Homo-oligomer: A and B are copies of this chain.
Amino acid sequence: MSHPASPLALPFPAMPPIAGVEVRVARARYKTWDRCDLTFVTLAAGTTVAGVLTQSRCPSPEVEWCRKALVLGQARALVVNAGNSNAFTGDRGRQAVEAIAARTAAHAGCQPSDIFVASTGVIGVPLPIDKAEAGLDAAFTSDLCGWEAMAETIGTTDTFSKGATTTAIVDGRTVTLVGIIKGSGMIAPDMATMLGFIFTDAAVDPAFLQRAMTAANAPSFSCITVDGDTSTSDTVLAFATGAAGNTALVDDESAGADAFRAALNDLCHQLALLVVRDGEGASKLIEIAVTGADSDRSAHRIAMSIANSPLVKTAIAGEDANWGRIVMAVGKAGEPAERDRLAIRFGDTQVAEGGLALSGYDEAPVAAHLKGQEIEIGVDLGIGEGKATVWTCDLTHGYISINADYRS
């Protein structure tokens, strides 16, 4: 975490332990840094798992491993490496994942397919097996630590540690959900953000957990973008230990299913926004709400076209109410739109309507809104009922500095 904290940073919240989950961290020294970079999480017998993974056609071997292991729905341990994504490393990368799973399974007394592995960092350098194994051995015997230490350990260019928690009443029992996540560049998750991990003590059947996770992903991780660049390693995994003792959730009819889904949705929403708050170079958090579109899918595409437009993002960085650039981004999205029905607002102030600028709109509240840290852009297409909301950050000199002013 070498860059100064994002101006949009939030403090790490108080997060309770989850019965059945034990976290340890260690130094594998994947880079020449003096910090923990390997996380080892043990999960009680019977823990179920679900996940969403990058849709990249060039995924890391970790993503391929998790995709296979998720089919079985059972988890006993999670290993996370930071500083090396192990992506695009051929057979040597696959061997590293297999070695980690084998060693961890031997330690935990389970099958390798019960072990989940995620890595983040530079692409193209095979994860060194010797460092991974030495790191794991150190982690196996190290003291337990808390969520914040894990959040720090999985981070790379993140400028602050990110976590969120919530609860739900399920089957008469209070279940707790916690999540931690890391960003902060190469963020345009197709099905997930870079690395996010959710733990709950609820008892949840893996198929139901997967459906709930897929549903929670759609309006959260799939609705954020920092730079439109989708990582090779995007992974969000949710683990349910069952220690809360509720009757396992198996479908929508189960007692507490709605409450659990709502809590999971809330948690994913919180985590997704934390990633945007730590977008590389971000100075403003931007919410883009598109309504009146031909369909929800069309609204989402238009919102993402706005959110990924460098001209819109730089205008917001410059606190410039340049709604012409929003018109441009709507126009280029390739989705149904009628120029002369388009309406645009900043915050609560309508600035354009019916295909042209609102004459004499009050610029003062717009200017005041744009000076803030949290910007709302509303776009109504006026042609249908489709809607979507996405979140992004502005594009500043900070992004260029982080990504151009050094050599990898």
- Enumerate chain A interface residues (CB-CB to B < 8 A): 54-59, 85, 87-90, 92-93, 122-126, 185-186, 188, 190, 227-232, 308-311, 314-315, 317-320, 322-325, 327-340, 342, 352, 354-357, 394-397, 399-401, 403-408
Are A334 and B57 in touch, CB under 8 angstroms? yes
Are A354 and B408 in touch, CB under 8 angstroms? no
Are A407 and B230 in touch, CB under 8 angstroms? no
Partner of A400, one of B229, B231, B395: B395
B-chain residues with CB within 8 Å of residue A329 when the two chains form the complex: 229
Are A314 and B90 in touch, CB under 8 angstroms? no
CB-defined A-B contacts under 8 Å, sample of 14? A57-B333, A58-B337, A88-B327, A123-B327, A188-B332, A227-B310, A228-B310, A229-B325, A229-B329, A317-B400, A318-B405, A318-B407, A319-B407, A394-B404
| Identity of the chain B residue whose Cβ is nearest the Cβ of A89 in the assembled complex | B356
Are A403 and B310 in touch, CB under 8 angstroms? yes
| Identity of the chain B residue whose Cβ is nearest the Cβ of A56 in the assembled complex | B331
Are B352 and A57 in touch, CB under 8 angstroms? no
Q: A357 to B355, alpha carbons, bound, how many Å?
A: 51
B-chain residues with CB within 8 Å of residue A408 when the two chains form the complex: 315, 320, 322, 324
B-chain residues with CB within 8 Å of residue A357 when the two chains form the complex: 88-89, 124-125
| Identity of the chain B residue whose Cβ is nearest the Cβ of A356 in the assembled complex | B90
Are A356 and B88 in touch, CB under 8 angstroms? yes
Q: Is the interface of A mostly helix, strand, loop or mixed?
A: loop
User: In the complex, what's the smallest C-beta–C-beta distance from A189 to chain B, in angstroms?
Assistant: 10
Q: A125 to B322, alpha carbons, bound, how many Å?
A: 12
User: In the complex, what's the smallest C-beta–C-beta distance from A123 to chain B, in angstroms?
Assistant: 3
Are A403 and B311 in touch, CB under 8 angstroms? yes
Partner of A88, one of B89, B308, B355, B397: B355
Q: A185 to B309, alpha carbons, bound, how many Å?
A: 12
Query: 9 shortest A-B CB distances, which residue pairs?
Result: A123-B324, A58-B331, A56-B331, A90-B356, A230-B332, A314-B403, A314-B404, A318-B404, A317-B404
Are B354 and A90 in touch, CB under 8 angstroms? yes
Q: A230 to B319, alpha carbons, bound, how many Å?
A: 22
Tell whether A407 pairs with B332 under 8 Å between CB atoms, given A90-B355, A124-B327, A311-B186.
Answer: no
Of the listed residues A57, A231, A329, A397, the one surrounded by the most CB atoms of chain B closer than 10 A to its CB is A57
Are B324 and A229 in touch, CB under 8 angstroms? no
Partner of A58, one of B87, B330, B397, B400: B330
Q: A123 to B355, alpha carbons, bound, how many Å?
A: 11
Q: A334 to B322, alpha carbons, bound, how many Å?
A: 31
Are B232 and A403 in touch, CB under 8 angstroms? no
B-chain residues with CB within 8 Å of residue A229 when the two chains form the complex: 309-311, 325, 328-329, 332
Are A56 and B328 in touch, CB under 8 angstroms? yes
| Identity of the chain B residue whose Cβ is nearest the Cβ of A324 in the assembled complex | B123
Q: A354 to B91, alpha carbons, bound, how many Å?
A: 10
Are A124 and B310 in touch, CB under 8 angstroms? no
Starting from the known contacts A229-B325, A318-B403, 4 additional A-B residue pairs (CB-CB under 8 Å) come to A58-B328, A123-B324, A310-B399, A318-B407
